[in-house]
Amino acid sequence: MSDRTDRVPENQAPAWEPGAPSLRAMAPSVVGGAIVPLAVYYLVRSHVHGDAVALAVAGAFPAAWIAFEWVRQHRIDPIGAIVLFGFIAGLIASVALGGNVFVLKVRDSAFTALFGVACLGSLAASRPMMFVIGRSLSAGDDPEKVRAFDQLWELPRGARVFSVITLTWGVGLICEAGLRVILAVALPTGPFLAASPVLGAAFYGGLFAFTVRYSKTVRRRVEAVHGDGLYPVVRSGGPTPVAVPIMLEDASLQH
């Protein structure tokens, strides 16, 4: 379920469909809020005294990115906020525990596990966490797009789709955190630092792939029963979101 601009005849406005943000739409947040600060952390860690200093230096970048996005779009960038929280948690752990090697190796696991627990806890809320994060990344602060994204919840099986996705992310993140702790115990620091990013990429990539495939499967089944034109679409320049028929084969993935 990726947001996208649909190809339409020249006399019609372009169409945007709500859903999980595409990789292209997420790229600025991923680069500015995650890749740059993480790269800075690994680059400066060997040149400063202590892990806490490296965390503090690198943490300034997601903080600056969040401020930039707030000024530009008047919203908090969720990826930057998650990374910043992780840096702050790591900094506190580094200072409080005096640079204990094992703690420094597993501090990311603690954050990942907490995020997984938060996902599971959000299932009791009015909207699960992955719905909220997806809406922020996909629709931004555009009121028409936000309204269209909210309509996904009301579609057949819409609430169930977001709940299953959030449940899967929650369980997956907790499993990733547990496996990372096992590797921290079993491996020396060097091999662990080499294996840890691979583990994270495998889990996050797998969770994203599941989200896309599961959403596509559900949409196909819903449209087979209810027909096309059920999913909301926002046309540029239009006063309100308008539902128009779009064949699944030509559309990006939706819930």
- Whether residue 121 contacts residue 132, with contact meaning beta carbons closer than 8 Å, is answered with no
Evaluate if residue 10 carries a pLDDT over 80. Answer: no
**Looking at residues 167-178, what average pLDDT do you find?**
95
Maximum pairwise Cα distance, the chain: 65
Evaluate if residue 207 carries a pLDDT over 80. Answer: yes
- Whether residue 253 contacts residue 216, with contact meaning beta carbons closer than 8 Å, is answered with yes
Close Cβ partners of 64 (under 8 Å, ≥ 6 residues apart): none
Average pLDDT over the chain reads 76
- Whether residue 62 contacts residue 87, with contact meaning beta carbons closer than 8 Å, is answered with yes
Evaluate if residue 114 carries a pLDDT over 50. Answer: yes
CA distance readout (Å), 34 to 62, 77, 194 = 7, 11, 18
Q: What confidence score (pLDDT) does residue 58 get?
A: 77
Q: Which of 9-13, 101-105, 195-199 has the highest mean pLDDT?
A: 195-199
Could you tell me which residue, 205 or 62, shows the higher pLDDT?
Answer: 205
Close Cβ partners of 78 (under 8 Å, ≥ 6 residues apart): 29, 133, 136, 137
pTM for the model = 0.69
What is the arrangement of strands in the sheet containing 4-6, beginning at the earlier edge strand?
4-6, 15-17, 234-235
H helices present in the chain, as ranges: 23-30, 36-44, 51-73, 78-96, 101-121, 129-139, 143-154, 158-186, 189-226
Evaluate if residue 111 carries a pLDDT over 60. Answer: yes
Token pair in block for residue 194: 């080499």
Q: Which residues of 58-77 are buried (b: 16+ CB within 10 A; e: fewer)?
A: bbebbbbbbeebeeeeeeeb
**Looking at residues 81-97, what average pLDDT do you find?**
71
Evaluate if residue 199 carries a pLDDT over 70. Answer: yes
Evaluate if residue 42 carries a pLDDT over 60. Answer: yes
- The count of other CB atoms within 10 Å of the CB of residue 125 is 11
Q: How many Å apart are CA 3 and CA 136, to the nearest integer?
A: 12
Q: What confidence score (pLDDT) does residue 167 get?
A: 97
Q: How many Å apart are CA 40 and CA 37, to the nearest integer?
A: 5
Q: Identify the band that residue 252 occupies on the pLDDT scale cut at 50, 70 and 90.
A: very low
Bridge-partner residues for 15, per DSSP? Answer: 6, 235
**Looking at residues 211-222, what average pLDDT do you find?**
87
HSE value, Cβ hemisphere, 13 Å, CA-based, for 149: 27
**Looking at residues 154-173, what average pLDDT do you find?**
93
Three-class DSSP category at 4: strand
Could you tell me which residue, 96 or 126, shows the higher pLDDT?
Answer: 126
Give the DSSP letter string of 33-45. IIIHHHHHHHHHG
pLDDT tens, position by position, 14-37:
576 766 666 666 677 777 767 777
H helices present in 31-77, as ranges: 36-44, 51-73
Close Cβ partners of 210 (under 8 Å, ≥ 6 residues apart): 165, 168
